[in-house]
Chain A
Amino acid sequence: MALNLAFLNRSYPSLETFKVDQEKINAFSDAIGDHNDYVKQGYASPTFLISIQMGAMEVALFDPELGLDYSKVVHGEQSFEYKKPVKAGDELSFISTIEDIKSKVGNDFITIRSDVKDASGNEVATLKATLIARGTDN
């Protein structure tokens, strides 16, 4: 099933800020086994922001008009570029943009970029996720 190309370049700003607290930082670090001192000092593990991006992506990914079969979705690629570390007390806003949509050998690919800023408007990080919806023949 081909994805709806009309979704290309659509942007989804966060409707509310995401408040980072020590509890969320601890839960994430604990789940990946990161027991470094920076966690106790209030800093999040490097991939923590994925927990924000997942929620941001759902608005687009679950839109029936996109035509994505979410039951067939696996994660293909992920990247993070960091401008400053995420810490407890941060209030983050983000804009997620559908940067690429393509179909290749029966599989659908969608790439979403999320630009994350803090309450003062400083850039915190840029995330990119590429999801693959496996075709029924695979």
Chain B
Amino acid sequence: MSAGIKYSDVEVGFELPKIVHNYQRQDLVKYANASGDHNKIHLDESFAKSVGLPDIIAHGMLTMGVASRVVTNWVKDITAVKSFSVKFSAPVVVPNDGKGTDVEFGAKIEEKMADNLVKIAVEARCNGTKVLGRSLIIAQLS
């Protein structure tokens, strides 16, 4: 596997293709089973409300996982991803309305570093609110 994207082909400010991901209740159950995180704030509406949340909220790590796709869908090469850090700034609330909640993910090259590395700032917004704080992926291009 080699990164399909050339370091020389990208500039600071380059925007990666956006992703819109729809979260439904059953997606949280699926993620809980795949990740082993069965915290009831993600699965049980009455429990979530009893601890002061507006409704069930999505796993932050589900949002981080979807966010990783903005970069991996672009670079196609898993070995290119060197680090990934996020801050969770607001919850993604998932009501039981059959429509689910849309989150829009985007990313922009913030810095070109040595050794063909690029620093990519990742963003995620739900109804206009940033659900990720400062979030960065370092990737090595070819």
User: What residues make up the interface of A, taking CB atoms closer than 8 Å to B?
Assistant: 24, 27-28, 30-34, 36-38, 41, 43-47, 50-51, 54-55, 70-82, 84-85, 134, 138
Task: State whether A79 touches B83 (Cβ < 8 A).
Answer: yes
Q: State which residues 70-88 of B face A: CB under 8 Å.
A: 72-73, 76-79, 81-88
12 new A-B pairs (CB below 8 Å) besides A44-B78, A46-B84? A27-B33, A28-B34, A33-B66, A36-B76, A47-B68, A47-B84, A71-B51, A74-B60, A74-B88, A74-B91, A76-B87, A85-B79
Known contacts A38-B1, A54-B36, A54-B37; A75 and B78 CB within 8 A of each other: no
A126–B85 Cα distance when bound, in Å, is 11
A41 / chain B contacts, CB cutoff of 8 Å: 1
Task: State whether B65 touches A77 (Cβ < 8 A).
Answer: no
Asked if B126 is at the interface (CB within 8 A of a chain A CB), the reply is no
Q: How large is the interface on B (under 10, 10 to 19, 20 to 34, 35 or more residues)?
A: 35 or more
Asked if B111 is at the interface (CB within 8 A of a chain A CB), the reply is no
Task: State whether B68 touches A45 (Cβ < 8 A).
Answer: yes
A97–B33 Cα distance when bound, in Å, is 25
A74–B79 Cα distance when bound, in Å, is 30
Task: State whether A36 touches B35 (Cβ < 8 A).
Answer: no
Known contacts A28-B35, A31-B35; A36 and B73 CB within 8 A of each other: yes
Among B1, B68, B88, contact of A75 (Cβ-Cβ < 8 Å): B88
